[in-house]
């Protein structure tokens, strides 16, 4: 199963093709070549290390909350 994760761009390298994005304290290097005009502070969907779509802030916060709820549910299971 593949999962795309919403993350916030924290920094962009001078060449503009890569940067660092964060979700709940987890930071990852990401490739930014697939989105137009990436900016620090943008929320993007990350899949396989690539930013594939921008999100507006409201939608990003909704998606992030769903991911947090899912993580809590999964971590609380006793399989």
Work out the pLDDT band at 75, boundaries 50, 70, 90.
Answer: confident
Q: Residue 59 and residue 48: Cα distance in Å, rounded?
A: 21
Number of compact structural domains in the chain: 1
User: Which tens digits make up the pLDDT trace of 22-62?
Assistant: 988 999 999 999 999 999 999 999 999 999 999 888 887 88
Largest CA distance in the chain: 46
Distances (CA, A) of 2 to 16, 34, 52: 26, 18, 14
Q: Average pLDDT of 14-18? A: 95
The 3-state DSSP class for residue 62 equals: helix
The domain in which residue 49 lies consists of 5-75
Residue 2 has pLDDT above 80, yes or no: no
Burial tier of 43 (Cβ tally within 10 Å: 0-12, 13-18, 19+): buried
Q: Which residue has the tokens 């993350």?
A: 7
Q: What CATH number did the domain enclosing 21 receive?
A: 2.30.30.140
């Amino acid at each position: 199963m593949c999962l795309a994760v919403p993350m916030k761009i924290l920094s962009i390298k001078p060449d503009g093709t890569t940067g660092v994005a964060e979700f709940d304290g987890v930071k990852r290097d990401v490739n930014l070549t697939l989105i137009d005009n990436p900016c620090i502070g943008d929320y993007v969907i990350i899949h396989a290390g690539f930013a594939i779509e921008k999100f507006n802030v409201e939608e990003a916060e909704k998606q992030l909350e769903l991911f947090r709820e899912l993580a809590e549910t999964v971590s609380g299971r006793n399989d």
